[in-house]
Amino acid sequence: MKDRPWSLPFAAGALALAACATNPYTERSQFLLVSESQEMQMGAQAYEQVLHDPKVKISHDAREVEPVKRVAARIIEAAKHSKYAETAQQFDWEVSVIKDDKTMNAFALPGGKIAVYTGIFPVAKNEAGLAAIMGHEVTHALARHGAERMSQGMAAQLAVGLATLGAASQGIDPQIAQLAGGALAQYGFILPFSRTHESEADHIGLLLAAQAGYDPHEAVHVWERMEQVSKGQPPEFLSTHPGHGTRIKQLEEWMPEALKYYSPRAGTPAADLPALAPR
């Protein structure tokens, strides 16, 4: 058996200390083996690694930075008045814009470390679209999806290891049992949970954006634009993300709930984001 980041005894011990939590919005039970302090420390370390990567260029262009920070401030303020208020108050929030017109991405790490790549601007198109994206990413951090994924990986490792040992005792080739168990864990447990996280982040992120004063309908347009530019997406059952059509359908279903949070604020701009330079 190949070396793994956690040994079976360690994983078994961690399972014995497992904590359960409940998502305050969806009421979904969460299985957690990682403490909040550990998760925030890992988030801060990962953020520093990204920012100090020599290949990463931090934007100081006000046209790019100001709208991102303006949207982030409103999303953070909404988070501090959401069902995640206690967690949001504990985060040491930080926002950076990464100058990379080819990367359509944004992320929020545990502890409130946010980065937005300029390549996402055409998909976001305007500040309301960016709010939908940032609400989604901030939800991942607030809902502790990273810690949950780590916990799932540890549990899956233990299950595969035990199944391999059990198969060996029955005369089954341990390598075959390990491969079969790994596939079962990957496609029957880990990936579906990841799709659950993505849908949960879409749902709660939509509410945060609406609470921040941004029209939640723009989230649907974001995924319509994403569908246009994203080609060759794998089949949904093999993907860690719901299909674009699935996301759009779900967002439309959640729209009545989001509109209850939405109250347009004076001074909340929905201005277009800066255009990227021609490639």
Please report the sign of the dihedral spanned by the C-alpha atoms of residue 14, residue 16, residue 22, residue 28: positive
For residue 22, the SS3 value is strand
Treating both helix axes as pointing N-terminal to C-terminal, what angle do 145-169 and 174-185 enclose, rounded to 10 degrees? 150
Residue with tokens 């017109």: 101
Measured at the CA of 278, the angle between CA 274 and CA 279, to 5 degrees, comes to 125
121 burial via Cβ count (<10 Å: 0-12, 13-18, 19+)? buried
Token code pair at residue 175 = 């390598």
The angle at the Cα of 187, spanning 183 to 191, to the nearest 5 degrees, equals: 135
Report d(CA 154, CA 148) in Å as an integer.
10
Q: Which residues are catalytic?
A: 137
> In this structure, which amino acid lies at residue 144?
R
Q: Do the Cβ atoms of 83 and 24 come closer than 8 Å?
A: yes
What is the rounded distance in angstroms from the CA atom of residue 62 to the CA atom of residue 67?
Answer: 8
Q: At residue 78, what is the residue type?
A: A
Provide the β-strand partners of residue 58: 98
For residue 215, what are the contacts with CB-CB under 8 A and spacing of at least 6? Answer: 128, 262, 264, 270
